[in-house]
Structure 1
C-alpha cells in the first residue's frame, strides 16, 4: 500500500486538489483569498521560466539523427493524433458534453512528455539521446503550434470572436518570454541554472496542482460542475482510455514505416504517443484564460488529467516487454 501511494503520489495529490475544490471552492475561486486570477498566471510564468532553465537546447546534437524519427514523432504529436482524435470523436461525441469533447481535442495537439518519455524509452531499451531531442523539440514547438491551432478551433467550435492580437500578446508574456529568459540565464550560468531547475521540480508540480485546484474551484463556484453527472465522468474516462489505446496501437504500427532499428522504434513509440501534463496544462490554462467565457476550463482539463495516469500505466506494462525484445535484438 505504501509503495502504491509513493508511486502514484502525484495523481493522488491532483485528485485531492479536485476534491478540496469541490468541498471548499471559495479561497481559490475568482476574487477569493488566493486570488487565483493572478496567482495562476504567475504560476504559469514560473513553470515556463523553469522549463527554459532546464531545456538542454545546446546538448541535443547527439540525438539529432535519424531525422525521419523526429519527423515521425512531430507528425504524430501535431498532425496524426488530431486527425485520429477527430475521427474518434464522431461516435464518441454522442456520449460527451461539448466541453469534454473540446478537452479531448485540445489534448490531441499537446506536445509529448519530457521526463516520462525519456525515462520509459531508456528503461525499455530505447535510444536516450533520440528521446531527449524529440521531446525537447516537441515542447519548444508547442509554444507556437498549440495556441495558434487552439484559438482557431475555439473560435470555430464556440462560434465566438476571439481577437488574435491581444490573445497572442498575453500568451507571449506568459509563455514565450519566460522560456527565453530561462534560456538566456542557462547560457550565462549553465551550472547554476541546471541546479536550480533540478531543485525546483517540486515547485512546478505544486503549481500544476494549484492550477487544477483553482480551475475546479471556479467551476464549482459558478455552478457549472453541477451539470456533470456520474455517467459523464465514466464516459470521459472510458473515452480517454480508448483514445490512448487506439493512438498507441496506430503509433506502433506506423513506426515500422520509418525503418527504425528496435531502439529507435521504442523511442518513437513513447515520444509520439504520450501527452505532457507539465507543459500541456499551463498551455491550456493560459489559452482558456486569454479567451474567457468560451468554454469551462475545469471540464476541458478533465481528459488531460485522465490521459496522464493512463499513459503511465500503459507505459509501465509495455516497458518490460520492450526491454525483453531489445535484449534479443
Structure 2
C-alpha cells in the first residue's frame, strides 16, 4: 500500500501543487512577469534541444520500421482523443462552461509525452525503440497538427488567439528549431548527454514547473479563480479521470484486437493515452491569450498528474505480469526437459 502511495504522490506531484499554490498567492507581475517569461522561453528551448540531442539515429531506424504501431499511436493521439472531446460536448458544455470545455478540447488535440511515455514503456517491458520513435514523432507532428486542430475545432476568435500559420511559425521557433539543432549536434555532445542522462532528465520537470508558474501567474492576474468555482474544478477532475479511463481501455483493446505483441500493446497504451505538458503549456501561451489561457491550461495540468499516477501503477502491474510470464515459461521449459 505504501508503495502505491509513493507512486501516486511522488515529489514532482507535490512540487507542482506547491507551484500552483504559489502562482495563486504570489503571482509574477510587472517586471517579474517579464523576467519569468524570458526564463520560460529559454528553459523550453533548452528542454527541446536536449530532447533532440538524446534521440539517436539507431533508435529512429529501429523504431521507424514499425509503421503500423506508429499509425495507431498517432491515430489515438490526434484522431481518437479529439473525437472523444467532441462527442462529450453535449455533456461537458453545461457542466464546465465554454472556457473549461475549450480547455478539455485543447487537451485532446495535444501531442503525447516523450520522457514519461518512454520511461513507463521501459519499466513495463514494452517496445522501447518504438516508443522513442513514436513519442518523438508525436511531439514534432503536434507542432503542425495541434494549431490546425485548434483552428478547426475551437474556432478561437482572432482577437484572442493567433492565426494557425502564425501559431505554427511561433511554436516551430520555440520547439522544433531547438529540437533539430540538438539532434544535429548529437555527434558532438551525444556521449556527454548519454552519460548524464539521469541528471538531465530533471530538466523536463524543472522546465514544466517554471512554465506552469509563469502561465498560471498571468491567468491569476487576469482573474482566473474569480471565474472558476471549486465545484467546476471538482467536475473537471472527474472528467479528466473518465477521459483517461476511456482512452486507456480503447488503446488496450485496439492493441489486442489488431494483433500486436504484448510489448507493442504496452507501447500503444502508454504512447497513445498520454498528453504532454512540456509541449502543451508553451503551445497554450502562443494559441490563447488573456482570460482564455488559464482555462486552457487547467485540464492539462489536472490530466497530466492523473496520467502520471495511473500509468505509474499500470507500469508496475505490467512489469510484475511480465515477470510471471517469464517464470511460467521457464517452468514449462524445465518440465519439458525432465519429461524427455
- Could you say which TM-score interval applies, normalised by the shorter chain? 0.7 to 0.9
Aligned residue runs from structure 1 range 92-171, under 5 A:
92-154=92-154, 156-158=155-157, 160=159, 162-171=162-171
Confirm or deny that 1:240 pairs with 2:240: yes
Pick the aligned partner of 2:315 from 312, 319, 322.
319
Deviation of residue 11 (structure 1)? 1.2
Aligned residue runs from structure 1 range 20-59, under 5 A:
20-25=22-27, 28-32=28-32, 35-59=35-59
Distance in 2 between residues matched to 1:251 and 1:6, nearest whole Å: 22
Distance in 2 between residues matched to 1:193 and 1:122, nearest whole Å: 19
Deviation of residue 241 (structure 1)? 0.8
Structure 2 segments unaligned to the other structure (5+ residues):
330-340
Distance verdict in 2 for CA 1:171–1:315, change over 3 Å = closer
Q: Describe the superposition over 1:193-223 as per-residue Cα deviations: whole angstroms up to 9, x where unpaired.
A: 4456654333332221121112222222222
Aligned to 2:18: 16
Distance in 2 between residues matched to 1:235 and 1:15, nearest whole Å: 18
Deviation of residue 103 (structure 1)? 1.6
Aligned residue runs from structure 1 range 58-77, under 5 A:
58-77=58-77
Contact kept? 2:140, 2:176, Cα under 8 Å? no
Contact kept? 1:147, 1:287, Cα under 8 Å? yes
Distance in 1 between residues matched to 2:238 and 2:321, nearest whole Å: 30
Structure 1 segments unaligned to the other structure (5+ residues):
none
Distance verdict in 2 for CA 1:177–1:63, change over 3 Å = closer
Distance in 1 between residues matched to 2:197 and 2:294, nearest whole Å: 28
Distance in 2 between residues matched to 1:6 and 1:266, nearest whole Å: 20
CA RMSD in angstroms comes to: 2.7
Distance in 2 between residues matched to 1:157 and 1:285, nearest whole Å: 13
Distance in 2 between residues matched to 1:168 and 1:24, nearest whole Å: 32
Aligned to 2:173: 173
When normalised by structure 1's length, the TM-score is 0.86
Contact kept? 2:33, 2:214, Cα under 8 Å? no
Q: Which has the larger radius of gyration?
A: 2
Q: Which moved more, 1:98-107 or 1:4-13?
A: 4-13
Deviation of residue 244 (structure 1)? 0.6
Distance in 1 between residues matched to 2:47 and 2:249, nearest whole Å: 32
Contact kept? 1:78, 1:111, Cα under 8 Å? yes
Aligned to 2:271: 271
Contact kept? 1:151, 1:287, Cα under 8 Å? no
Aligned residues: 322
Aligned to 1:303: 299
Distance in 2 between residues matched to 1:173 and 1:312, nearest whole Å: 28
Name the SS for the 1:94 alignment partner: helix
Name the SS for the 2:53 alignment partner: helix
Contact kept? 1:51, 1:182, Cα under 8 Å? yes
Distance in 1 between residues matched to 2:137 and 2:76, nearest whole Å: 13
